[in-house]
A and B are shown apart, each in its own frame.
Chain A
Amino acid sequence: MHDPHDHSHDHEHSHDHGDGQDPHAPQRDHDAVEMSGYEALEETLRLLLIEKGIITHDEVARQIDLMDSRSPALGAQVVVRAWLDAEFKGRLLRDAREALKEFDVDIGSLAEFKVVENTPETHNVVVCTLCSCYPKMLLGVPPAWYKSMAYRSRTVIDPRGVLTEFGLDIPLSREVRVHDSTADLRYIVLPMRPADTDELDETALVSLITRDCMIGTAEPSRVGRGA
């Protein structure tokens, strides 16, 4: 009933990303004893579309592979390049689409990307109050909290309170700038390079940058990373 191709995706037991984050909950799959009606609906629609020749198993698998290949590591590489190369940073801030071509990232035709830079004067944070717009082509799929009603509703009215929940306290002397992604632009925050990182090489710098740093709910830090 199920092509083995698809199943290559559901048994990735090794979800230890080694980044010190919480262990991930296991994926549900068809070996589970319970499934939701929505899961059955997904299968229903996919099988119908395949029967009608509108999509193929391979296309679905390739699309899943493509999204799986997108992760915050990609965004982190872009950030570090911007830290190390002022000329690149300039181009990234002016025209992200063009600059990202160097990273082999085709951001597609669906949206534009915009990189917003944190400075000593300004801290940026990104939200989408109307749905969950997110720069998937650079950061992968958004975390559940980014899509949550709590984050979407509160970040615009109480950004500092939300950031405090994430463990980030921005001094009142520093402007907090919220970006509500209401239209065709997807936002990525370019965080500030932490002090005392002059001796770190590119790989070490990349490891400082988490997904949340590029959403604006965290800042890169050497604290807690054995530095």
Chain B
Amino acid sequence: MVDDMKRTHVRTDAGGRAVHDVGGLDFGPIDRSEHDLALWEKRVDAVMILLYARKNFWTVDAMRRTIEDYGQQTYDSTEYYEKWARAMRNLLIEQQVVTRAEVEAKMIEVVARHRAAGRTVLNDAIEW
């Protein structure tokens, strides 16, 4: 749906236009299909809001900054709550709430449990 040329040529060599700063570009027709959030997306939303709005681990600004750190290719190809989940992971580590080793170990455990239950876990290597 999105023309790859449109995606890639516009934010390179732009001398300061960041990956998220898309006003005035052309990402093609708007897909207006409606769908409810998946449970895991609601959970990302809920946990993120608990962490920043209720428990003050960081601000929404820090979350945005972390999302904006994604490279353009990944920024464009990830969904909204995928960006949030990755931002949450990186902020929790940055703020030393959890360690990278803890996240990696728990992720292996979670993925293994789902695979043992017969589920296919796609792309479990989440870019940093």
Contact = CB atoms under 8 A, between A and B. Distances in A.
Q: Do chains A and B touch in the complex (CB under 8 A)?
A: yes
Interface of A: 1, 6, 9-10, 15, 21-22, 24-25, 27-30, 32-49, 52, 54-55, 59-60, 63-64, 67-68, 108-110, 127, 129-132, 141, 143-145, 147-154, 156-157, 162, 165-166, 180
Given A41-B107, A44-B106, A60-B46, A152 B85 contact: no
Interface in B41-84: 42-47, 49-51, 53-55, 60, 64, 67, 76, 78-82
Given A33-B119, A153-B22, A64 B42 contact: yes
Nearest to A62: B46
Nearest to B123: A37
Interface residues of B, number: 67
Interface in B105-128: 106-107, 110-111, 113-114, 118-126
Contacts of A40: 107, 110-111, 114, 121, 124
B122 A153 contact: no
B119 A35 contact: yes
A152 B22 contact: yes
A43 B27 contact: no
A49 B91 CA distance: 13
B28 A54 contact: no
Nearest to B6: A153
Contacts of B49: 63
Contacts, number: 209
Contacts of B97: 49, 52, 54
Contacts of A150: 2, 27-31
Nearest to A165: B30
A152 B124 CA distance: 29
A145 B111 CA distance: 31
B36 to A, nearest CB: 5
Contacts of A141: 37, 45
Contacts of B30: 145, 148, 150-151, 154, 162, 165-166
A60 B67 contact: no
Contacts of A108: 53
A9 B42 contact: yes
A129 B53 CA distance: 23
A47 B81 CA distance: 18
Contacts of B38: 27-29, 39
Given A21-B34, A59-B50, 13 more contacts: A9-B39, A25-B35, A41-B89, A42-B44, A43-B110, A44-B89, A45-B85, A45-B89, A46-B43, A48-B98, A54-B55, A110-B53, A127-B23
Contacts of B2: 149-150
